[in-house]
Amino acid sequence: METDRKYRRGLTACLVPLLLSVLLISHADDSVSPMPGSWFEVPKTASQLGIVSFSQSPILDDRGLPPVSERLPDDPPVIEPLNDIGQFGGRAQITLGDSWQFFNWESALTISADLRNFLPNLAESWDVSADGRVTTVRLRKGLKWSDGHPLTSDDFVFTFNHIWLDTDINPVTSMLILGGRIEKIDDLTFRYVFEDPNPMFENLIAQYGSFMVDPKHFFVKYHPSFADREFVDAKVAEVGVPTWMALLDALRNAIIDEGLNMPTLRAYKIVQRTPTMVRFDRNPYYHKVDPQGQQLPYIDGIDAEDILDNAEVVTAKASTGQLDFAAFTLRTQDIPLLKLGERNGEIKVHIWRRLHSSDVAIQPNYNYADPKYRALLWDVRFRKALSLAINRPEMNEIIYFSRGVPRQVTVHPTSAYFEPHYATAYTEFDPDEARALFADIGLKDINGDRLVEYPDGSPLTITLEFLDFETPKGITMELVANYWREVGLDLRLKLVDRALQSARAQAGEMQMTLWHADRVTDILFPLVPDWWAPRSTGWDRGMWNDWARYYQTDGELGEQPPDIIRQMQQWTDDMRFETDINKRITIGKKLLQTNADNLWTIGTIGLAPHPVVVSKRLRNVLPKGIWGWDNRWTLAYHPSTWYFDAD
């Protein structure tokens, strides 16, 4: 045990020089940077602001396009930049992973910068009926796909009926749209109608809505409900995919040549793909303008390297100014190196806050096949002991420069469902109490190796398998393994790749696994509370997939859960159907309190610093923001208003 302590002290000593390079981070204000008030409100339109003329990037001048005023919607929304009105031009150098953030999704609705509200985007307006069963959307007049074809209700109807509800594509209908249908009212108005109340369907539209609309005029050529089946089968064979469903997926993700022609609503469209690079050009029909009537985006094009799985290369390129924007693949432990790179004046390192409730959420598998191991996990004393044995303050110092927050897996502090004690439950470092709890359970060192065995004397070894991606999972678990060994638990760590993680987690074959805990804001928590009840299966969850299958199939598959789990599942249903927001919050807090009492998952450090690196020429990027899946990273911070300074 003394060796472990020396190891950690040595690791801390090695990091001291690097910690000096992040001194500014250690004393930085953790608040989000000030933003334009318009980012929290329904965007004004050109007519409301008296804008009567529009201009475009000079790169579009000689392409034989209709005038910019005819390519924009009839009354385009006006987006206020963070600081400056930008200028047109330039090609951005980024990685393919950051294309999701550099130019974000475009949906009927979008997310406000406070992570709580929704705003119209492609929609001019929308409303939800009092009983929560009908969500009506009215599109802006004059919106167009990147090929100039009008966006209409038919595009949304196509996706709902022929993608989401097509049983060949999706054999199991998502519970989020179960019992739903879409009705076209006119070319610009449609509504989603549900048998049961679905008052938070607007959350899904805003967060996931880019997958709720496809260009019908493009896909009818390939979907067998519309196209000649012989043609579709021939195309499947030509492309080399197994089914027409795989063909549509390849088209939607533009991973085959035909997909390069797929129209988009985003700020940029794919024009070229090679094994190492994806090239994007500006969408000449993009629907937003700035306060001077200039059509967004400001930047003309993007070259995105396909090096997502090589984090070290991305960090090296970002630190030396070879990328104009880098964030997705970067890690907290990269900050010292990036800050050193900042000294040459080629880059600026912004420090955002990850919204993750916990960067590492440890997941015991309550459905594991070994009954003795399952019984141990089900004993809340064991879970409390595991949590109390973790030295979160030391972990915070070593990995996060003391800028993270020790906490359990609960909702984000911005959430209306948040209570501070949910986050602090059993987070104190108390190894003596952990050992005492082990003793109460009957776990003791029988063979003198300073590691506990089961009460019957058989060996107790736990293997935790995990995919080391995005957050500091590897170094976190090295520390956790040491902490647990100090109280007598033998934890073995096993790295797995993405495919193995998915297969073994969903099959329930892992004793333990982990992932980072997002889906913790008011955008997603009440809609998909997957950390707090077994209601869906997933590659990122390995706690209780058999109980989730029982819930999903009304008992036909899986395993019947204990009563407390059934109650938690019922609360998720009650919350999803509840139209009264105050009652919904009350239900949600019951779920969160039960988690605080029982520690179904074990949290480590959350709300951690995240590096966002920009080149010296890139402007209008928010210095301090909230980073994560719930708010689609940069979505509310308007990356279409980023521009290159010519100086």
52-71 pLDDT tens trace: 999 999 999 999 999 999 99
Domain count, the chain: 1
Least confident of 95-99, 324-328, 583-587: 95-99
Q: Is 80 a domain residue?
A: no
User: How large is the average pLDDT for residues 173-200?
Assistant: 95
User: What is the DSSP annotation of 367-398?
Assistant: T-S-HHHHHHHH-HHHHHHHHHT--HHHHHHH
Of the pLDDT bands very low, low, confident and very high (cuts 50, 70, 90), residue 494 is very high
- The arithmetic mean of pLDDT across residues 183-209, rounded, is 96
pTM here?
A: 0.92
Tell me how far apart the alpha carbons of residues 214 and 295 are, in angstroms, rounded to a whole number: 23
pLDDT at 30 > cutoff 70 = no
Average per-residue pLDDT for the chain: 93
Give the three-state DSSP class for 207.
helix
SS (H, E, C) 573-624: HHHHHCCCHHHHHHHHHHHHHHHHHHCCCECCEECCEEEEEEECCEECCCCC
What pairing do the DSSP bridges indicate for beta strands 512-517 and 358-364? Answer: antiparallel
pLDDT-based confidence at 646, cuts 50/70/90?
Answer: confident
The first and second tokens of residue 76, run together, are: 């385009």
Residue at 118 is within a domain: no
Per-residue pLDDT, averaged over 187-192, amounts to 98
Residues 109 and 123: beta-carbon distance below 8 Å: yes
CA–CA gap between residue 34 and residue 13 (Å, rounded): 36
Is 395 domain-assigned? yes
DSSP classification of residue 37: G
19 has pLDDT over 80: no
User: For residues 411 and 530, what is the distance between their CA atoms, to the nearest angstrom?
Assistant: 12
Does residue 490 belong to any structural domain of this protein?
yes
CA 385 distance to own-chain centroid = 30
The CATH number that applies at residue 371 is: 3.10.105.10
How far is 362 from 602, CA to CA, in rounded Å?
A: 5
403 falls within a domain: yes
Task: Kindly give the residue spans of alpha helices, DSSP state H, lying in 106-167.
Answer: 153-159
Say if 474 falls within a structural domain: yes
- Report the phi/psi class of residue 421: left, alpha or beta, with left for phi > 0 and alpha for psi in -120 to 50: alpha
Quick check: is 82 in a domain? no
Q: What angle do CA 281, 286, 292 make, to 5 degrees?
A: 110
State phi, psi for 619 to the nearest 5 degrees: -120, 160
DSSP-derived letter for residue 488 is: T
How many secondary structure helices (H) and strands (E) does the chain include?
21, 22
Cβ 188 vs Cβ 138: under 8 Å: yes
Which residues form the domain of 439?
A: 356-606
Backbone φ and ψ for 315, nearest 5 degrees, come out as -60, -45
Percent of the chain whose pLDDT exceeds 70 = 95
pLDDT band at 512 (very low <50, low <70, confident <90, very high): very high
Instruction: Give the pLDDT band (50/70/90) at residue 498.
Output: confident
Token readout for 594 is 């039960």
Over residues 253-268, the mean pLDDT reads: 88
Cβ-proximal residues to 456 (8 Å cutoff; 6+ apart), any chain: none
d(CA 453, CA 442): 9
* pLDDT tens for each residue of 531-540: 999 999 888 8
Let me know if residue 595 belongs to a domain: yes
Q: What tokens appear for 67 in the block?
A: 């005038």
**Residues 6+ away with beta carbon under 8 Å from 360:** 471, 472, 473, 476, 477, 480, 514, 516, 603, 604, 605
- Single-letter code of the amino acid located at 140: R
- CB-based contact 140:122 (threshold 8 Å): yes
pLDDT tens per residue, range 545-573: 999 999 999 999 999 999 999 999 999 99
Burial 452-482, CB ≥16 within 10 A → b, else e: bbbeeeeebebebbbbbbbbbbebbbbbbbb
Say if residue 31's pLDDT is above 80: no
Cβ neighbourhood burial of 100 (10 Å; 0-12, 13-18, 19+): middle
Report pLDDT for 308.
65
Number of C-beta neighbours around residue 108 at 10 A: 25
